[in-house]
């Protein structure tokens, strides 16, 4: 039973007057009112309250009994009963529907901590915030449009509300941007081999690459990382076009580039697999093998194990690291980042905080791309800005 449909029907014209139908049935069955109510085992006052709409909490069993007696389908009869309810009762039903929608789909506590919701929001304000943000006029429209990416996949054993929120936000962003360029895999392959030097330009490198990708039909956007999700990035296939999301997971400049190449590997080699489920996130355990392949692709693209073994001897010399980075056309922070990973993976050594002074501020790399934050008023306006940036020559 769709509560929103029922609520809408309350304000529409009924096909029949319930009291007239009851009187007709008394004539048809040759029964007096008193006898009919006795057979139904419903008190006269209770019956009148149900039909008049004065019953504060109509008994469901009584409603079913009356609908059977009148030969009216029970949902239709409920519509009639609700139509006769007081505005206070109707408002209570509507509020319950909205509350259910919120708790079913959103982690209110986490989103409040994030600043998406305010702590003093009423149920109405929570719903309004969600609908305004995603750009829909009703709960029903939201569920019809934005459940698509979630339920096109294999049925999940559990719901991760924050991850679902992230997915819906990304999906809606891509739908609004609606990249007009046809996806061309061969042009993408030609473009990828030219990407690496742009990592050296912290301010404009990613912007330049993302605009070039947009022109070959690959849309790349940035969304703020959502705590608890562990999502570094994701690849969506929407209208047969690849769409990539990158987050500021771990807030390190080299990770932005690693994630981009990781996702582009998925675009190149896992397009059909991802298309079947609409999207793939960088933390998906069900596709572990393609994750491993994408990680290897991205690592080898920037710093292969062979190159790691060469530079590890000189890692304490910033001049030589910078010189080597220039030779292989990457930003020096990329060298330090991958050196740290290889040391941990190959030798179990932790260099996690050893080279932080060589990492540039990652936010400088994405600020011009208008990353989606959770303080946006609505996705539509943010997406339009992103589209204009990507299309600007």
Helical (H) or strand (E) element with 279: strand 279-281
Task: Give all strands of the β-sheet with 233-238 in edge-to-edge order.
Answer: 219-223, 241-247, 233-238, 279-281
Sequence-separated contacts (24+) of 342-350 with Cβ below 8 Å? 342/303, 342/305, 342/308, 342/312, 343/312, 346/305
In Å, how far are 66, 103, 229 from 1, measured between CA atoms?
Answer: 19, 18, 32
Is pLDDT at 222 greater than 90 in this prediction?
A: yes
Is pLDDT at 88 greater than 50 in this prediction?
A: yes
Output 18 or 347, whichever has higher pLDDT. Answer: 347
Is pLDDT at 162 greater than 60 in this prediction?
A: yes
Average pLDDT of the chain is 88
Percent of the chain with pLDDT over 90: 61
- Which residue reads 């019953």 in tokens? 55
At residue 63, the pLDDT reads: 87
Is pLDDT at 151 greater than 90 in this prediction?
A: no
Reported as a pLDDT band with limits 50, 70 and 90, residue 83 is: low
Q: How far apart are CA 296 and CA 290, in angstroms?
A: 10
Q: Name residue 237's beta-bridge partners.
A: 242
Is pLDDT at 235 greater than 90 in this prediction?
A: yes
Q: Model's pTM, two decimal places?
A: 0.80
Query: Residue 280: helix, strand or coil by DSSP?
Result: strand
Q: Name residue 372's beta-bridge partners.
A: 223
- In the predicted model, what is the mean pLDDT of residues 249-265? 95
Reported as a pLDDT band with limits 50, 70 and 90, residue 231 is: confident
Q: Which of 61, 246, 49 is nearest to 166 (CA)?
A: 246
Percent of the chain with pLDDT over 70: 88
Is pLDDT at 11 greater than 50 in this prediction?
A: no
- Which tens digit of pLDDT belongs to each residue from 44-58? 998 888 877 677 777
At residue 131, the pLDDT reads: 95
- Which tens digit of pLDDT belongs to each residue from 295-307? 999 999 999 999 9
Q: Which of 111-115, 189-193, 279-283 has the lowest mean pLDDT?
A: 279-283
Match domain 3-85 to its CATH number in 3.30.70, 1.10.287, 1.10.260, 1.10.150: 1.10.260
At residue 13, the pLDDT reads: 46
Is pLDDT at 192 greater than 80 in this prediction?
A: yes
In Å, how far are 25, 62, 107 from 40, measured between CA atoms?
Answer: 13, 8, 45
Q: Which of 84-98, 141-155, 314-328, 335-349 has the lowest mean pLDDT?
A: 141-155
At residue 60, the pLDDT reads: 86
- Which residue reads 């990416």 in tokens? 149
At residue 346, the pLDDT reads: 96
Reported as a pLDDT band with limits 50, 70 and 90, residue 12 is: very low
Reported as a pLDDT band with limits 50, 70 and 90, residue 5 is: low
Output 217 or 288, whichever has higher pLDDT. Answer: 217
Half-sphere CA count of 322, side-chain side, radius 13 A = 5
Those residues whose C-beta lies under 8 Å from the C-beta of residue 382, and which sit 6 or more positions away, are 173, 370, 372, 376
Is pLDDT at 158 greater than 60 in this prediction?
A: no
- In the predicted model, what is the mean pLDDT of residues 348-357? 91
Q: Where are the domains of the chain?
A: 3-85, 90-146, 161-302+362-391, 304-360
- Which tens digit of pLDDT belongs to each residue from 263-294? 999 999 999 989 988 898 886 555 556 888 99
Is pLDDT at 21 greater than 60 in this prediction?
A: yes
- In the predicted model, what is the mean pLDDT of residues 372-393? 91
Helix (H) and strand (E) counts for the chain? 22, 4
């Amino acid at each position: 039973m769709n509560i929103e449909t029922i609520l809408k029907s309350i304000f529409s014209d009924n096909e029949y007057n319930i009291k007239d139908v009851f009187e007709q049935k008394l004539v048809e069955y040759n029964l007096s009112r008193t006898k009919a109510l006795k057979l139904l085992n419903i008190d006269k006052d209770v019956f009148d309250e149900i039909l008049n709409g004065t019953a504060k909490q109509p008994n469901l069993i009584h409603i079913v009994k009356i609908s059977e007696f009148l030969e009216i389908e029970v949902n239709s009869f409920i519509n009639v009963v609700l139509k006769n309810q007081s505005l206070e009762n109707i408002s209570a039903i509507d509020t319950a529907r909205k509350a259910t929608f919120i708790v079913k789909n959103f982690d209110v506590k986490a989103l409040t901590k994030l600043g998406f919701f305010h702590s003093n929001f009423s149920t109405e304000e929570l719903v309004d915030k969600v609908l305004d943000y995603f750009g829909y006029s009703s709960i029903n429209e939201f569920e019809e449009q934005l459940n698509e990416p979630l339920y096109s996949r294999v049925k999940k054993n559990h719901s991760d509300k924050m991850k679902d929120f992230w997915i819906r936000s990304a999906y809606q962003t891509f739908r609004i941007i609606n990249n007009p360029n046809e996806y061309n895999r061969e042009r993408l392959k030609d473009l990828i081999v030219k990407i690496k030097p742009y990592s050296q330009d912290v301010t404009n490198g990613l912007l330049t690459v993302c605009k070039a990708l947009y022109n070959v039909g690959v849309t790349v956007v940035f969304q703020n990382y959502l705590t608890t999700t562990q999502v570094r990035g994701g690849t969506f296939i929407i209208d047969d076009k690849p769409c990539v999301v990158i987050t500021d997971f771990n807030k390190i400049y080299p990770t932005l580039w690693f994630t981009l190449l990781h996702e582009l590997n998925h675009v190149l080699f896992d397009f059909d697999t991802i298309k079947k489920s609409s999207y793939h996130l960088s933390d998906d355990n069900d596709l572990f093998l393609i994750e491993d392949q994408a990680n290897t692709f991205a690592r080898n693209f920037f710093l292969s194990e062979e190159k790691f073994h060469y530079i590890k001897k000189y890692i304490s010399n910033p001049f030589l690291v910078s010189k080597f980075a220039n030779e292989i056309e990457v930003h020096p922070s990329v060298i330090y980042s991958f050196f740290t990973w290889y040391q941990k993976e190959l030798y179990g050594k932790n260099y996690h905080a050893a080279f932080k002074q060589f990492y540039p501020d990652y936010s400088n790399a994405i600020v011009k791309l208008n990353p989606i934050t959770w303080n946006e008023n609505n996705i539509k306006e943010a997406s339009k800005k992103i589209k204009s940036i990507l299309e600007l020559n």
